[in-house]
Amino acid sequence: MKKLTLILLVFITGSLMLFTGCQDPEPTEVKPTISFETGADYISADATLEASAEFMIGINADANENSGAMLTKLEMVRHFVNLQTDQTVTWDTVINVSTYSIDFLVTAFPLEGNETFIFTITDAEGETAEVSLDITTEITYGPLSVFENVTLGDQDNSTGSSFASLDGTVYNLADAKENSDKIDFVYYYGATNKATLCAPSDETAAQVYNNATYGVATWATRNATVFKETEVTVEEFDAIPADNDTQVIEFATGSDQSKITNLDHDGAPVVLGFETVEGKKGLIKIEELLVGDGLATPGYIVITVKVQQ
């Protein structure tokens, strides 16, 4: 009986050794590694940012220690989606290194929505690894100041010609000099330029308003407002709400002219964009324009202004 028990124990022990010996070895990891750079200067996890905000993403990648396969390619895929837009942008770079780090200075999508960033590293053996994060973009709307049916007289009109977008005040020449830091643009009617809105910094403003005491050339501040012609329609302008400056910013961006001339000509723009020296953007809608005769009937322009507060 003791002999039988011994035989059974030997058999069981051998069987266990047999089964243990036949088990597959632990798999060896062969994929490269990739991770986000962390720290105060980097976005390394899902985040909510203002639309068009700049931010930094850093990527670190290393070859697999077991395979030793060199890193050969890094790819980035940006996928933005909202109710109106579904857009994908890809970027990649070919490399041949064992370790790789790169920083991306990124501009968030200019619309509200969600954008997924996927970074994939590939090695010489075709093995890959990836990391991803989501950026939710939001837009903080700013209020507008709206000044309706503002009349600016030409140089022969007793009605003031200088406009301050800060509060919508129209100044005559003497008062404009005292408040020159507030004046964003002036109106005149010239022999060559005809109906014109221009910055105080534009030389034609000083040539037209050339009074020895109060003329533009004597002002302490001559603001360098810039303008642009737009294709914005009256209907589009009127539809812009006073509590949302998004469209004003969009339409006025790119303003780079010190004056807009010939506003009384056929085909002249109905809506102008402008930007003040403080960086505030606005739109000017021309409501009415009368060309004076230089005698009994002075000229004027009537405008409505929507400008960032």
Find tokens 């062969």 and name the residue.
30
> Does residue 156 register a pLDDT over 60?
yes
Contact between residue 275 and residue 226 where contact means Cβ atoms under 8 Å apart = yes
> Does residue 149 register a pLDDT over 90?
yes
Average pLDDT over residues 190-194: 96
Tens-place pLDDT, residues 23-80: 556 668 999 999 999 999 999 999 999 999 999 999 999 999 999 999 999 999 999 9
Beta strands in the chain (DSSP E): 33-36, 47-50, 54-62, 71-81, 86-97, 99-107, 113-123, 128-138, 144-153, 162-164, 169-171, 185-190, 194-198, 226-229, 259-260, 271-275, 281-290, 300-308
Average pLDDT over residues 8-24: 47
Q: Quick count: other Cβ atoms within 10 Å of Cβ 145?
A: 17
Tens-place pLDDT, residues 89-140: 999 999 999 999 999 999 999 889 999 999 999 999 999 999 999 999 998 8
> Does residue 285 register a pLDDT over 70?
yes
DSSP calls for 4-54: HHHHHHHHHHHHHHHHHHHSPPPPPP---EEEE--STT---S-EEEETT-E
Tens-place pLDDT, residues 202-254: 999 999 999 999 999 999 999 999 999 999 999 999 999 999 998 999 999 99
How far apart are the C-alpha atoms of 116 and 93, rounded to whole Å? 19
The model carries a pTM of 0.64
With a CB cutoff of 8 Å and minimum separation 6, the contacts of 151 are 159, 170, 300, 301, 302
How far apart are the C-alpha atoms of 50 and 52, rounded to whole Å? 6
Which overall architecture, per CATH, does domain 33-138 show?
Sandwich (2.60)
Q: Which two tokens stand for residue 77?
A: 């895929």
Q: Which two tokens stand for residue 243?
A: 């509590």
| Domain extent listing, the chain | 33-138, 144-308
Give 176 or 295, the one with higher predicted confidence: 176
Q: What is the pLDDT of residue 249?
A: 94
